[in-house]
Chain A
Amino acid sequence: MLAMDYRGPKRVRAVQKPMPEIKHPQDAIVRVLRACICGSDLHLYNGNVPDTRVGSTFGHEFVGEIVEVGADVTKVKVGDRVIVPFNIACGECHFCRQQMYGNCQESNTESGAIGGIYGYSHTAGGFNGGQAEYARVPYANVGPVIIPTDMDLDDAVMLTDVIPTGYQGAEMAGIQPGDTVVVFGAGPIGIVAARCAWLFGAGRVIIIDKEEYRLDFARNYSYCEAYNFEEVGDPVMFIKKITDWMGADCVIDAVGAEAAGNALQTITGRKLLLQAGSATALHWAINAVKKGGVVSIVGVYGPTDNLVPIGNMMNKGLTIRGNQTSVKRLLPRLIDHVQNGILDPKGLITHRLPLEEVADGYRMFSAKLDNCIKTVLLPPTANQ
C-alpha cells in the first residue's frame, strides 16, 4: 500500500509499505478515505518530538471504511464508514472510564504521560498513522464512530481532531457569558477555538497571529476581531489596552511549540531544542489574561521543559488547564452541531492533494504557502 514515510526533519515521501495487520482481537483495518495534515504534525516534521523514528507514517486525522475486523470487534463491521478519533483509547482503564479518552493507560507503552496517538512518534505509542491507504485501528469497539449517512466525508475528517480540539480549547477556558476571549494562533485549531468561544457565550473574541491571510480567514470564519502581533507592538500591552487595562478573561494557546514572536524562545526552543519548543504563545497568554483568569492550552509542546512566567501565574491567581482532546467524549455533541449547521468543518479546507504529493503538502502547510489553512490528502484507494 502507499503510505507517507518520514525520513528526517523536513523530509517525507510517499512509498509502498506492507499492509497493516490485525495484532489484537479488538483491532480493525480501515481503508483511508480522507486524511489531513495537522499543525501538530509539523512538530514531528520539524524533528522536534523525541523518538520520531525514520520510516514512521504520520497522520492522526483520518476517516475510512472498515475492511477487516478482529475476533472481538462487535461495535463496527466491515463496510462501515467511520470517524477515527486521533486518541487510541481502550475504554476500560481508570482514565477512559472517566471519559479521559486522551489519557488512556493501555495504549502507549513508551510514555507514562501521554496516551496512544496514531502516527505521532514512539513517544505516543509508535502506531502508524492514517496518511496511507490503510491503517490499523486498535480498540475498534471504542474509538471509531460511524459517519452519519448525510455527513460529507470532508466534514467527518475534520471531526477527528481539529474541530474537537478547538472546541475543547474553548471548553477548558471556562468561558462565561460576556467574557472576553483571546486566542493566540490563527491556525486551524485557533480558528475553530475562536468560533467555538461564541458557543459558550463569549462577549468578545480576539485572535492574534502574524499571517495576514490567516487573520482574514479568521475574521470571516470565526466572526472575531483579528490582529497582527507584528503590527501592534507588544501583544500583551495591546491586549491590556483594548480590555480597559484588565486583560482578557480567558486566553487560549492554540500555537504550541512552533511559536514565533520572541527571538530567545525561537532560538532556544525551535533551533537549539534547549526547550520543549518555543513557549512564546504560552508566555503571552499568562501575561495577557486578567487576574483570576483562565489559560487554556491546546497547543502541543514537547515532553521536557519550557520557559514560562510561572511566578506571574501564581501572583495573578490564574487557572491553567490543558489536555489532549477527548475526541470520543465530544463527538456526539459536535456531530449534532455540524448537522444543525452550527459548525462548518469543511469550510476550513483550502487544499486537497493526492497522497503521492504528501511532501508538497507538508512543505506548503509548514511554510504557509499559497494561503494554506488546512490540507486534505486523498489516498489512491479513496475513490475505489
Chain B
Amino acid sequence: MKDTALNTPIDPKTIKGWGIDADPKNDPTYPMRHRMNVGEDPQPNNRPDNLQPVNTEVLKSIERPNVSAVFGTPAPPSGLSGAIRRVAFRYSENQYKHWLPLVLADRVDVVEGVVTDLFHGQLPNIWAEKGYDMEWKHNRTAFVTKMAAIGAVTAGLVVWLSSSRKKQEAYKPKGRNYLSRF
C-alpha cells in the first residue's frame, strides 16, 4: 500500500539531535503519575489473570480491543432503549452518533420504566421519588410558587391548544373532501 510505504517507522535515535533537550523535570503529570512510556513497560498489555465470564449482554466501546476483565451487570440493554443503545455502540466515543442516541435511549428508558412499574401493578409515587417532602418542609413558598407557575402554564397551553383545535374545526369546509382529488 502506498500509505504504508510512505509511513514506514524509523528509529528516532537516527535523527540528528534526537532527545538533546529532553528534560525529565518538564512533566506536568508529576507527582500524579509514575511516568512510564509503553516502550518502557515490560508488560504494556498486562491483564488480570481471570476474566469475568460474559454471560449477559455487554455493550463494548469500539475504542477497546476487548471486554474489560470486570464489568457491571445491573441493567443489560432491553426494549426500545436497548435497541437504540446497541446502535449507539456501533460508533466511537468521538462521534455524536454515539452520545446522542444514548441520551435519547435514556429518555425512552424512563418511559419504559413507568410502563414496567404499571405492568407490575405499581403506580410510581412521583411526589416521593422527587423528594418533594423536602421542598414542602424547607422551601415551601418558592416550591408552591413554582408548582403554581407550572400548573398555570400547563393549563394555559391546554386551553390554547383546545381552542385552536375548535377554531380549525369551525373553519373546516363542510361536505367537501379535498383528499378525493388525489
Contact = CB atoms under 8 A, between A and B. Distances in A.
Interface of A: 7-13, 23-27, 47, 50-57, 72, 88, 90, 92-94, 97-100, 105-113, 116, 122-123, 125-128, 138-139, 168, 171-172, 174, 273, 303-304, 319, 321, 323, 326, 329, 359-364, 367, 369-370
A125 B75 contact: no
Contact of B33 (A13, A23, A99, A107): A99
B17 interface: no
A362 B135 CA distance: 11
A11 B129 contact: yes
A138 B52 CA distance: 10
B90 to A, nearest CB: 13
A128 B72 contact: yes
Contacts of B83: none
A105 B68 CA distance: 7
Nearest to B113: A54
A57 B72 CA distance: 11
Contacts of A125: 68, 71-72
A98 B85 contact: no
Interface magnitude class on chain B:
35 or more
B35 interface: yes
A90 B68 CA distance: 10
Given A107-B70, A127-B72, A303-B99, A112 B64 contact: yes
A109 B110 CA distance: 23
A94 B74 contact: no
B72 A116 contact: yes
B162 interface: no
Interface residues of chain A: helix, strand, loop or mixed (majority): loop
A109 B93 contact: no
A325 to B, nearest CB: 9
A100 B32 contact: yes
Contact of A122 (B32, B47, B59): B59
B164 interface: no
Most chain B C-beta atoms within 10 Å of own C-beta, residue among A54, A321, A361:
A54
A88 B70 contact: yes
B93 A11 contact: no
B50 A109 contact: no
B131 A361 contact: yes
Nearest to A120: B72
Interface string B46-65: 11111111000011110110
A360 B118 CA distance: 23
Contacts of B32: 99-100, 168, 171-172, 323, 326, 329
Most chain B C-beta atoms within 10 Å of own C-beta, residue among A55, A116, A321, A362:
A55
A122 B75 CA distance: 9
Given A108-B71, A109-B71, A47 B134 contact: no
A107 B68 contact: yes
Contacts of A367: 134-135, 139
A359 B106 contact: no
A216 B48 CA distance: 48
Contacts of B93: 111-113, 303
Given A11-B129, A11-B130, A108-B71, A54 B99 contact: no
A56 B46 contact: no
A27 B50 CA distance: 11
Interface residues of chain B: helix, strand, loop or mixed (majority): loop
Nearest to B58: A109
B71 A98 contact: no
Nearest to B49: A72
Given A24-B51, A97-B46, A126-B74, 10 more contacts: A13-B125, A24-B52, A51-B105, A93-B46, A106-B47, A122-B59, A123-B102, A171-B31, A321-B28, A363-B134
Contacts of B121: none
A122 B72 contact: yes
Contacts of B49: 72
B128 A13 contact: yes
The 10 residue pairs across chains A and B that have the minimum distance between CB atoms: A363-B131, A126-B72, A112-B63, A8-B110, A127-B72, A54-B113, A50-B102, A53-B75, A369-B138, A11-B129
B106 A55 contact: no
Interface in B9-53: 28-29, 31-36, 38, 41, 43-53
Given A361-B131, A367-B134, A94 B68 contact: no
A128 B60 CA distance: 18
A99 B138 CA distance: 44
Contacts of A361: 131
A249 B44 CA distance: 37
A7 B52 CA distance: 28
B115 to A, nearest CB: 11
A97 B36 CA distance: 9
B143 to A, nearest CB: 9
B50 A26 contact: yes
Contacts of B126: 11
B67 interface: yes
Contact of B129 (A13, A24, A107, A172): A13
Nearest to A330: B32
